[in-house]
Amino acid sequence: MSDPCILCVAITGSVPTKAANPAVPVTITEQIESTHAAFEAGASICHAHVRNDDETPSSDPEKFARLKEGLEKHC
């Protein structure tokens, strides 16, 4: 391949829960692990949504900071 390519992974979506898809990563740890696997496979961008404990979408900056910290460490 001579043309570069950027791979983006969307690991969660904002709505799916484990009830709908048992493989969806909802905890910060699961999201870091899922993103790391995608990174190892060649992804360079991650689109993620952090979740509350009840798996609903969250805008909590502390949760995003923990996710960012884990991604920077492992990816």
Give the pTM.
Answer: 0.89
Segment 30-45 shows an average pLDDT of 96
pLDDT value, residue 32: 97
pLDDT value, residue 66: 98
Stronger pLDDT, 50 or 2, i.e. the higher one: 50
Q: Which pLDDT band holds residue 1 (cuts at 50, 70, 90)? A: low
Judge contact between 14 and 49, C-beta under 8 A: yes
pLDDT value, residue 14: 81
